[in-house]
């Protein structure tokens, strides 16, 4: 089995310091959090940025600032969100790609999110994919249900997304696939042969799905974007605390954790 890639989704867009006061929001806080996650074993950081009022933003300047601060601290792979927050216009979501991060998220379908729709029209998905391909940014294909996976696979087959592709199964959202183990295995069975995949379990599923991903050759995403708790009713102290727990679990299960350099090789980043 290849080494395990741990991703830290440190901030997200639907979270706030009211929900967990340890949420990193300023560029300095985010860079410190990314560094602590790297020390704990993360090789990728998935980034959303916040403005001075801690509101979700797709500001080019903020992404540039956080990237610079992280780069000064460590060699963690930087993945920008192109999902933004629910309702962020597609033009805004596309903008930060011009900074050429190592990777970027690519959401391949629309889904209900809270009381709203997280809208991802086919034409917008395809323009994001084209821009990533042009700039040689590796997409992480975010799937929340089976139809999205099949559409993502079709984009790889059509050449719009270069192979080998990397998928993320986001399991446990209210309106997408639940965190039931069989969903993970069903999605995995539908992947192209050379694809890699990670699992992002939402809420309590973050911990419950991690061992299944570890033993089935997948990779794991943890962090405040998906889960603010360490255990039932107990807020996590930091993103690094969540990463460290999965790194320990991987050790127990005898799967080595990848460094950023090793993760670059596994994902065939340019
Ligand atoms: N904030 C969610 C609506 C991504 O980063 O690409 C979408 C999201 C996915 O967070
Ligand atoms: Zn995100």
**In angstroms, what is the span from residue 166 Cα to ligand 2's centroid?**
15
Closest ligand to the CA of 173: 1
Q: Supply the residue whose CA is at minimum distance from atom 9 of ligand 1.
A: 83
pLDDT at 270 over 90: no
> Do you know the residue count of the chain?
270
What percentage of the chain has pLDDT greater than the value 70?
A: 100
State the greatest distance between any 2 C-alpha atoms of the chain, in Å, as a whole number: 46
Q: Supply the residue whose CA is at minimum distance from atom 2 of ligand 1.
A: 85
* pLDDT, tens only, 69-111: 999 999 999 999 999 999 999 999 999 999 999 999 999 999 9
d(CA 238, CA 32): 11
Q: Supply the residue whose CA is at minimum distance from atom 1 of ligand 1.
A: 85
* pLDDT, tens only, 8-54: 999 999 999 999 999 999 999 999 999 999 999 999 999 999 999 99
Ligand 1, CB within 6 Å, residue ranges: 12-14, 81-83, 85-86, 105, 107, 113, 118, 142
Q: Supply the residue whose CA is at minimum distance from atom 8 of ligand 1.
A: 83
* pLDDT, tens only, 168-177: 999 999 999 9
Closest ligand to the CA of 144: 1
- Testing ligand 1's pocket by substitution, the residue of 13, 226, 227 carrying the most ligand atoms inside 8 A of its CB is 13
Closest ligand to the CA of 56: 1
Closest ligand 1 atom, residue 105 Cα? 6
- Residue 82: predicted pLDDT: 98
Residue spans per domain, the chain: 6-267
* pLDDT, tens only, 148-162: 999 999 999 999 999
Give residues with Cβ within 8 angstroms of 111, minimum separation 6.
117, 118, 120, 144, 145, 148, 173, 175, 176
- The CATH number of 6-267, from 3.40.1280.10, 1.10.472.10, 3.30.1050.10, 3.20.20.70, is 3.20.20.70
- Residue 163: predicted pLDDT: 97
């Amino acid at each position: 089995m290849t080494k395990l890639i741990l991703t830290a989704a440190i901030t997200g867009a639907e979270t706030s310091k009211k929900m967990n006061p340890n949420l990193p929001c300023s560029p300095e806080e985010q860079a410190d959090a990314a560094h602590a996650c790297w020390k704990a074993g993360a090789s990728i950081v998935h980034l959303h940025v916040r403005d001075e009022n801690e509101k979700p933003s797709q500001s080019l300047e903020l992404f540039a600032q956080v990237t610079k601060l992280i780069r000064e601290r460590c060699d963690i792979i930087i993945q920008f969100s192109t999902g933004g927050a629910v309702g962020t216009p597609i033009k805004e979501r596309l903008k930060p790609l011009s900074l050429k991060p190592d990777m970027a998220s690519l959401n391949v379908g629309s889904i209900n999110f809270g009381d709203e729709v997280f809208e991802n029209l086919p034409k917008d998905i395809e323009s994001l994919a084209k821009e990533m391909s042009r700039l040689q940014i590796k997409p992480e294909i975010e799937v929340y249900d089976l139809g999205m996976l099949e559409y993502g696979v079709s984009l790889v087959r059509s050449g719009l997304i270069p192979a080998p592709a990397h998928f993320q199964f986001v399991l446990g959202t209210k309106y997408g696939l639940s965190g039931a183990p069989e969903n993970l295995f069903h999605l995995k069975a539908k992947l192209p042969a050379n694809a890699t995949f990670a699992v992002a379990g939402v809420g309590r599923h973050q911990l419950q799905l991690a061992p299944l991903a570890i033993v089935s050759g997948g990779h794991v995403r943890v962090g405040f974007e998906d889960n603010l708790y360490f255990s039932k009713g107990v807020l996590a102290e930091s993103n690094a605390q969540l990463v460290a727990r999965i790194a320990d679990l991987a050790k127990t299960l005898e799967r080595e954790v990848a460094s950023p350099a090793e993760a670059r090789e596994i994902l065939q980043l340019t």
